[in-house]
């Protein structure tokens, strides 16, 4: 069952509509899926043991956990669900993501078969490198009038969604990864570059910089993700590093904005607009930092950061193993809208 989007009904989403209409050039009055219904359908399709293993209270500290390595994963393994529950899970992902975002998550999961080939002969590789070794966790009772959330997580993927009444869902932090960077011929996902367009955009932007701009943007090279800040659960705004967006020309700003829109466009229309509003609020304070090296080939690191925004992509661990993260520093896991909701409706502040 779906409901009419708040975009068409007015209310708190009106401002979000204005941003989306500006970006896309048209209004959004399509039916948007009810995430609570989708999550409820997933839980209903699980057996009792799976529901017990895959649910926590909304206030449980587990909701703030995130794994950047596929170990100690908590919840219900997607591969152990019935076909009906698997379909319900994919339906929930399709509801919160755009078509492109859903396809990207599928491509990341399918890369496990390629990694399996790369690691052939290692003990337990077929069990460990499995496109269905991703775990569901639901926090609270999915409903339109209460706060709840879910996580879908495994190797190179962590989706963290918090639903608060009257607000587009909070969807950060986000973790995406890719290995190989570009899948070679002869492998199951030959030709796939999960983060290839994102890499192309930042390299094009960096190549466009003049000498003084490049001096401001360029970081010293660090191996093994030495620059990455975001491989944590939460963080505060980092210090400004790199070239300010205000010191770019119009074409360069357009390239940076296209990179940011690429990330925002992973979500459904309502959520995309909310993320674009957050980016827009930080736009004049954004900085672009970049470093690349030919040894190992294709190694690079990029950071785009400003007040309430941190996006990083790192390929310095061997040059063929990308990690990308997106945070809302100081407000990850929906803490800002949740605090506002609790203060408005319950006279209390959200506390972790």
State both tokens at 308. Answer: 């309430």
- The reply to whether the predicted model has a pTM over 0.85 is yes
Residues 248, 258: Cα–Cα separation, whole Å: 14
* Secondary structure E strands in the chain: 2-4, 31-33, 55-56, 76-77, 134-139, 148-154, 157-163, 174-178, 243-244, 287-293, 299-306, 309-314, 322-327
User: Of 230, 207, 213, 197, nearest to 314 (Cα)?
Assistant: 230
Residue 320 to residue 74: CA distance in whole angstroms:
28
Tokens of 64: 């703030």
Pairing of strands 134-139, 76-77: antiparallel
Q: What SS3 class is residue 209? A: coil
- Predicted local distance difference test score (pLDDT) of residue 33: 72
Quote the tokens at residue 57: 């209270």
- In order along its 352 residues, the chain shows pLDDT tens digits of 333 333 232 334 444 444 444 444 434 444 567 999 999 999 999 999 999 999 999 999 999 999 999 999 999 999 999 999 999 999 999 999 999 999 999 999 999 999 999 999 898 898 999 999 999 999 999 999 999 999 999 999 999 999 999 999 999 999 999 999 999 999 999 999 999 999 999 999 999 999 999 999 999 999 999 999 999 999 999 999 999 999 999 999 999 999 999 999 999 999 999 999 999 999 999 999 999 999 999 999 999 999 999 999 999 999 999 999 999 999 999 987 445 444 454 455 444 4
Spatial separation of the C-alpha atoms in residues 304 and 243, rounded to whole Å: 10
- Smallest Cα–Cα separation from 166: which of 71, 81, 253, 270? 270
- Separation of alpha carbons 135 and 193, rounded Å: 24
Contacts of 267 (CB under 8 A, 6+ apart): 96, 97, 98, 101, 171, 275
Largest Cα separation within the chain, whole Å, is 62
Residue 122: exposure state from Cβ atoms within 10 A (0-12, 13-18, ≥19): exposed
Q: What is the pLDDT of residue 31?
A: 56
290: helix, coil or strand?
strand
């Amino acid at each position: 069952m779906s409901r009419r989007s708040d975009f068409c009904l007015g209310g708190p989403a009106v401002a979000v509509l204005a941003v989306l209409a500006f970006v896309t050039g048209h209004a959004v009055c399509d039916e948007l899926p009810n995430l609570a219904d989708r999550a409820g359908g997933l839980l209903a399709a699980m057996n009792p043991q799976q529901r017990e293993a895959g649910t926590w209270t909304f206030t449980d500290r587990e909701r703030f956990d995130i794994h950047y390595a596929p170990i100690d994963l908590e919840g219900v393994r997607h591969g152990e669900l019935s076909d009906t529950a698997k379909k319900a899970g994919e339906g929930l992902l399709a509801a919160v993501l755009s078509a492109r975002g859903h396809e990207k998550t599928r491509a990341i999961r399918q890369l496990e078969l390629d990694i399996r080939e790369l690691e052939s002969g290692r003990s337990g590789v077929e069990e460990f490198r499995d496109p269905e070794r991703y775990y569901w966790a639901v926090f609270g009772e999915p409903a339109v009038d209460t706060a709840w959330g879910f996580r879908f997580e495994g190797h190179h993927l962590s989706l963290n969604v918090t639903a608060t009444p009257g607000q587009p869902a909070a969807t950060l932090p986000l973790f995406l990864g890719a290995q190989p960077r570009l899948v070679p011929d002869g492998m199951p996902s030959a030709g796939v570059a999960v983060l290839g367009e994102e890499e192309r955009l930042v390299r094009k932007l960096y190549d466009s910089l003049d000498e003084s701009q490049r001096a401001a943007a360029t970081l010293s090279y660090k191996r093994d993700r030495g620059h990455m800040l975001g491989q944590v659960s939460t963080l505060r705004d980092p210090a400004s590093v790199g070239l300010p967006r205000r010191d770019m020309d119009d074409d360069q700003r357009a390239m940076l904005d296209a990179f940011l829109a690429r990330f925002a466009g992973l979500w459904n229309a309502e959520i995309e607009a909310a993320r674009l509003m957050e980016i827009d609020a930080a736009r004049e304070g954004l900085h672009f930092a970049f470093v690349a090296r030919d040894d190992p080939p294709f190694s690079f690191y990029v950071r785009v950061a400003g007040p309430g925004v941190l996006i990083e992509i790192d390929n310095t661990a061997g040059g063929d193993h990308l990690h990308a993260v997106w945070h809302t520093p100081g407000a990850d896991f929906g803490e800002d809208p949740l605090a506002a909701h609790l203060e408005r409706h319950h006279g209390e502040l959200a506390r972790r």
